Amino acid sequence: MIIQSPEEAPPAKKPPWLRIQFPSQTSYFSVSSLLERHNLNTICRSARCPNISECWSQKTATFLILGNVCTRACAFCAVKKGRPGPPPADEPAAVAEAAASLNLSYVVVTSVTRDDLPDGGASRFVETIEALRKRIPGVKIEVLIPDFGGDESALLRVVHASPDVLNHNLETTEDLYPKINRSAAGYARSLDVLRRAKAGGAVTKSGLMIGLGETEEALPRTLADLRGAGCELLTIGQYLRPSPEHAPVVRYYSPEEFDGLKRQALGLGFLAVESGPLVRSSFHAHQLFASLRGRRQDAACAT
């Protein structure tokens, strides 16, 4: 299936700081074997994450629930698109068992978008949170959720399950939404997801990809929109084209520019920001959460 992409720009040359080493550590392959044994999917593999080598070598992974086929066709994403089958019934227990086997104390769970399900898959997130807490007492859980089609009751079902962090990616600037096969209304809907989750008591997080053609004016406005929605944690990373069928990279940002964006976001009031060329939504997620807790403790001590 050919994915509609933004207008083609002259291909940018990939800079040296984006070179990725192939995994050689035994722990990488042990994680791969464990996931296959439990018949589990990860966003690391499905989305062709550039950090898969580092994360799996450190025996951590981001679990992908609700199967591995997405009902949407975003022009930047490598996850398979199409008509998915029923979600595997044993997913929650399998995720919990695999997380326990990896000795994880901080678990990140995301999903494909399932517009074909009545609640968008919200109940499966709840079941997975419950299974993890039952199997690993004291575990910290971050969920990276879709927008559930704007269904507030579905969103609140997940919020009320009390994940430690509720993440929903805004992805890019408002003007680029139609160009990446996102509805024009999707930008406001995603901000509303974060706003409602925050109002429900969740610690909220979001992520941006840059390099798709955003303008100098639009990016600061997007950061301000996220803060206006109450978002506390933020990741900013370089968009990398998964294949020639996907949206092209318009620009590669330097590490120094990512540092500048981090300073800008912190200046707007974000409590913790991870910004860099290879940063992804769940990259160093436990460290970002720990940074948030540290800042909150420091603020409490200062009062």
- How far is 224 from 230, CA to CA, in rounded Å? 10
Instruction: Report pLDDT for 285.
Output: 83
Instruction: Report pLDDT for 5.
Output: 42
Pairing relationship of beta strands 62-65 and 41-42 according to DSSP bridges: antiparallel
- How long is the chain? 303
pLDDT bin (cut points 50, 70, 90) of residue 274 is: very high
pLDDT bin (cut points 50, 70, 90) of residue 4 is: very low
- Cross-strand pairs, 237: 209, 276
pLDDT at 1 over 50: no
User: Are 44 and 90 spatial neighbours (Cβ–Cβ below 8 Å)?
Assistant: no
Is the alpha carbon torsion for 198, 237, 292, 227 positive or negative? Answer: negative
Q: How far apart are the first and last CA of the chain?
A: 57
Instruction: Report pLDDT for 298.
Output: 60
**Domains in the chain, start-ordered, CATH in brackets?**
24-302 (3.20.20.70)
- 182 vs 150 pLDDT, higher one: 150
- Identify the H or E element spanning 153: helix 152-159
Instruction: Report pLDDT for 3.
Output: 36
- How far is 303 from 289, CA to CA, in rounded Å? 22
Residue among 222, 248, 191, 275 nearest 76 (CA): 248
pLDDT digits (tens, 9 = 90+) for 42-54: 665 555 655 555 5
pLDDT at 272 over 70: yes
pLDDT digits (tens, 9 = 90+) for 212-235: 999 989 999 999 999 999 999 999
- Cross-strand pairs, 209: 237
Mean pLDDT, residues 96-118: 93
* Candidate from 102-111, 154-163, 205-214, 287-296 with smallest mean pLDDT: 287-296
Distances (CA, A) of 201 to 138, 178, 194, 204: 19, 31, 11, 9
- How far is 192 from 168, CA to CA, in rounded Å? 10
Instruction: Report pLDDT for 23.
Output: 58
- The per-residue pLDDT of the chain, averaged, comes to 86
Highest mean pLDDT among 27-31, 252-256, 293-297: 252-256
Burial of 10 (0-12, 13-18, 19+ CB in 10 A): exposed
- 73 vs 59 pLDDT, higher one: 73
Instruction: Report pLDDT for 46.
Output: 54
Instruction: Report pLDDT for 6.
Output: 43
Using a pLDDT cut of 70, give the percent of the chain over it.
82
- 163 vs 179 pLDDT, higher one: 163
Instruction: Report pLDDT for 81.
Output: 87
Please report, as a single letter, which amino acid is at residue 71.
Answer: T
Segments in 122-199 forming alpha helices (H): 122-135, 152-159, 186-199
- How far is 294 from 283, CA to CA, in rounded Å? 18
pTM above 0.85, yes or no: yes
